[in-house]
Structures are given as structure tokens and as C-alpha cells.
Amino acid sequence: MDALNDARSTAPGRFEGGAAFCEGRYVPLSEAKISLFDWGFTRSDATYDVASTWQGAFFRLDDHLDRFFASLGKLRMTIPYSRAQVRQILHGCVRAGGLKDAYVAMVCTRGVPPRGARDPRLAENRFYAYALPFVWIAPRDKQLAGIDMHISERLRIPAASVDPTVKNYHWLDLVQSMFEAYDRGRDTSCVVDERGNITEGPGFNIFVVRGGVVRTPDRGVLEGISRRTVIELCDRLGIPLRQEPVPVADVLAADEVFLSSTGGGVLPIAKVNGQPLRLAHPGPTTTRLYDAYWAMHDEPAYRDPVEYTP
Ligand SMILES: Cc1ncc(COP(=O)(O)O)c(C=O)c1O
């Protein structure tokens, strides 16, 4: 019987602490591997998505699946699983991993081409998934103590080169900016575009607040699912929000700055480039959106509870 239809393969807690789905089988994380010759590794020729579960339920899983399947189409990739099957695999990874709060990734790589071939059409695309304990961009104590974000002068790979709305592993710009931040004793970083506007950081979108108005970049960024949640919450709460280019100077002069990510939702920033922001941390708008973000996890429309019994 294949792994997808055999309940034993995802028995609750079978791989306590995390489980992966590789080459059509559920495996412990220690066996989660890809080939050295997969173009996902040698060329970053891959797309992925990361959803989360919180207290035993996925949050906005449909939106993550929509984005993943849209990315597959844009990269001309196909997988041998339907959307319903991908959902089933992700649930299986969380259940087998015995996890309640989880980081849940789905990945498609270009695959391994025939030896010596250079034509991407010849490679068979591969699908992988895994669930780990929830990963925070910054843990709660660090969020309260105050995150210091470094604004790097490094440019994000231009959208005309790599479409940022396809979630991708082109992270060298982001990783180098993290080293710059750590060199200066700061906690995280973001990169800019060629016009001096901020774009995004390693795993998050950015929002600035000034005079009660929230702004976030409208281009050159991944359209984060948490970003969408913040935009929707601003609408619900009557908080004015604009999606438009945000110059670096406006970040430095902001009342409040916060990040959005599946890795922790709304994440308050206390300092930018070592300088405290204008309002005491965490600011009132950030706090409202933070509370609303977590409250939304209880709304049935956004919850997809994991079945923990086989
Ligand atoms: C480059 C980048 N921007 C933004 C985000 C935030 O997206 P989401 O809210 O869907 O987690 C991520 C998430 O990993 C990311 O990698």
C-alpha cells in the first residue's frame, strides 16, 4: 500500500519531534535528504512554502496552498500530487511528528536531470514536505526586550530577475545582510531596492507606522500570507494602510516598525540601525495588530485542525 493511503505511515507521534515526506515516503527528519545532483540544490531551482500549525490547527492553509501551486505554475513545475493530497501529506507530517505548534514546509525542486543534460525540461520535478517544532523569527522574550533591525545597503535581487512573489531560495543577499547586522550587534536585517526603498528581510515583510497610518512596500517583495493578514486586520480595525514604496528615511523616522512572518506573526521592532523608534516599544498600533493576529487563529474560517487520531 502506498504511504498516502496507509494510516500506519502517519501514526500519531511515529516520528516524535518532526517528520518529513521524501520520495513518496514518510521518514524521520534524520532521513530527510535530497540528491546532490538535484537542481534545487545546485541552482536554487526550487520553490517552497511554509505554513504553520498553532495549538493543533493549521492557520490559513488554503492561502499557503494557493501560493504554492501558483509558484509551481510560474516556474513550470509539476508534482504528482493534487492539492488535496498535498494537504493530506502536510497533515500527515504534523501528526507523525506529534507536533501541536509546527513549522510546516512544502518544497518542489526541479529534480535530477539525466547525466550531462542541461535542459530543465528533462528533469523530473520532486516534491518534499516536512514538519518541525514552530520556528520563530525572534522568540517572544527577544520581541519584548526589543529587536534591532539593520537596514543593509545591499539590493534585493531585482524583481525583473527573480519574481519575488514566487517563494524561493535566492537568499544570498538576505544572508549577507544578516552577517552585516550581527557584525554591528543588531538582531536582524533587511535589504533595499535600487531606488532606496526597503523591500523585505530574511523570512519577513516590513511595516512602518507614522501618525497612525500603516505602510508596507507594494512591490519587490514576497506577498506574505502574514502580510495579507495584517492588511486585512487593518481594514477590519479601521487602521489606515497604504501599500506603496517606503523609502529608508521613512523607516528611520517611523513611530513604530513591525515585521510579519509565518514565523511568529506580527513582530515588533524596537530599534532601527541601533536607534530607538519615536514611540515607546512596543507601540500601540503594533500591539493592536499583534493581539488581533493571534485572536484570528481562533476563527473557524482560518483553522484547519490536525487529526491526531489515526
Ligand atoms: C523573503 C520573504 N519575505 C516575506 C516572508 C513572509 O511570508 P509569510 O508571511 O507568508 O510567512 C517570507 C517567509 O518566509 C520570506 O521568505
Q: Find the residues whose C-beta lies inside 6 A of ligand 1.
A: 50, 200, 203-205, 222, 224-227, 260-262
pLDDT, residue 7, reads: 85
Top mutation candidate among 205, 223, 227, 229 for ligand 1, by most atoms within 8 Å of CB:
205
Residues 145 and 123 both lie in one domain: no
User: Considering only CA atoms, which residue is closest to atom 7 of ligand 1?
Assistant: 224
User: Considering only CA atoms, which residue is closest to atom 8 of ligand 1?
Assistant: 224
Residues 145 and 62 both lie in one domain: no
pLDDT exceeds 60 at position 1 = no
Q: Cα 171 from chain centroid?
A: 13
Residues 122 and 157 both lie in one domain: no
Residue range 111-122, pLDDT digits in tens: 999 999 999 999
Residue 10's alpha-carbon distances to 14, 16, 25, 36, 303, in angstroms, are 7, 11, 10, 27, 21
Cell 498553532 identifies what position? 54
- Three-state secondary structure readout of the chain: CCHHHCHHHHCCCCCCCCEEEECCEEEEHHHCCCCCCCHHHHCCCEEEEEEEEECCEEECHHHHHHHHHHHHHHCCCCCCCCHHHHHHHHHHHHHHCCCCCEEEEEEEECCCCCCCCCCHHHCCCEEEEEEEECCCCCCHHHHHHCCEEEEEEEECCCCCCCCCCCCCCCCHHHHHHHHHHHHCCCCEEEEECCCCEECCECCEEEEEEECCEEEECCCCCCCCHHHHHHHHHHHHHCCCEEECCCEHHHHHCCCEEEEEECCCEEEEECEECCEECCCCCCCHHHHHHHHHHHHHCCCHHHEEECCCCC
Closest atom of ligand 1 relative to the 164 alpha carbon: 1
Residue range 241-264, pLDDT digits in tens: 999 999 999 999 999 999 999 999
Cell 509546527 identifies what position? 102
CB 225 within 8 A of CB 60: yes
3-state secondary structure of 277: coil
Count of domains for the chain: 2
Residues 104 and 125 both lie in one domain: yes
Residue range(s) defining the domain that contains residue 182: 140-296
Domain containing residue 68: CATH number: 3.30.470.10
Is residue 82 included in any domain, yes or no?
Answer: yes
Domain containing residue 262: CATH number: 3.20.10.10
How far, in Å, is the centroid of ligand 1 from the Cα of 275? 25
How far, in Å, is the centroid of ligand 1 from the Cα of 201? 8
Grid cell at residue 184: 554591528
What amino acid is encoded at 263 in this protein? Answer: G
pLDDT, residue 5, reads: 78
Grid cell at residue 186: 543588531
Domain boundary at 110, 134, 158, which?
134
Per-residue pLDDT band at 190 (split at 50, 70, 90): very high
Residues 212 and 275 both lie in one domain: yes
CB 205 within 8 A of CB 226: yes
Residue range 20-77, pLDDT digits in tens: 999 999 999 999 999 999 999 999 999 999 999 999 999 999 999 999 999 999 999 9
- Using CA atoms of 198, 200, 202, 208 in order, give the dihedral in degrees to the nearest 10: 80
Top mutation candidate among 204, 233, 260, 293 for ligand 1, by most atoms within 8 Å of CB:
204
